Chain A
């Protein structure tokens, strides 16, 4: 709310100052350069006053509280169940609604084959075997995918554009991304990330927030399940490697 007010107040301040300066310079002093400065201030005030409507009402602190609560609950669930397998991010076509994370409860080293849409439940069965069972959960990536205006195609350029739009334009948590695709592996490089990551069990299972979002968007783009194989932060950049399953 503070940021939104700062846009409003700055915009109004520039508007009033711009009108006063323009009128005084144009009608009283007859100074073109001062009149131009007034016009310049008026244009900036219009932009600020327009932008104030586009900025979210919810303060970042409230968003942070909601995110932390959700992540804490997820971490508790995963730790209590003693899950040590990596989550698989599945597209909306395999989860019926929106991209979700599927966590297999048992793993024999190979990736589970999910060939049909899973039911919308927490505990789901994906195969005929007695151990073919797992958790189907929503992550921040699931919600973030819904913010995309169009579904990106299965190319590295389209994924890069979608992720940059999301991270830089919508969420403001990074300065840009670079995506490369090779041999069923997608490498994502995120510039100047501004989200902290923890190292608890849920992080090892689901991945960090940036990796979660990237994996969900990539799963939706390729329309195939994805797995985060590697993620690390070094020299102000965040590197994520995804494996395309199936």
Chain B
């Protein structure tokens, strides 16, 4: 499946939330990275078809989505950022309801629910009411509903929010396994969510997106701009006022500080290998040679 978003604009009143956004995705996991309020959720919602763009087109395998919206929706799985499940429904009823919405026959729905519940680790909890689920369980239930119709396009909006580290890893594994011959768009502000599994990443800020690139490509952009420096804790307090710091590790009486900077930020600083998190910080927190 090839999905293209061409020249997407979205205005809310006079506020321009998305400006001329164009993306193309094939199979694999695509990461949509950006800070809160950058326009990620709006872009995701337009792709999912739950918000109309002010201008622009979404093409599925070269055909305008509007030509057959029902067929498009039958190929989509969507996990929104915030969903509160129906208080009276059990996990099983909830999945059965979504299966009905997706038009799955009963027998197929039962098989899928059983398999997905096992996959997301909810097999023993499906008879419990959703309202009693923990945040992580609700998220896993959300992922299960998104996968019910074997979607060709899986859209995940901040899927790991509220998950603990082990659940986050489990989630990444599920998405990775699923994405072999499918398209997954994963929107997040948590860099590690996409660092390991995304085939390509697109950065979004103030409603505009960067080119779609591999993580390596983005990382190459900040080569020579990531530094490690060792300094005393008191010096760090003053230093961090003017620097973008991506990590601090206490080393006895001193601190090892990872810094993003165009120039050598400290006399003891040494240049180190960057990662995607550094790119994120460089793009969103480092403006005009100083911390934004």
Q: Is B one of A's binding partners?
A: no
Q: Identify the B interface with A (CB < 8 A).
A: none
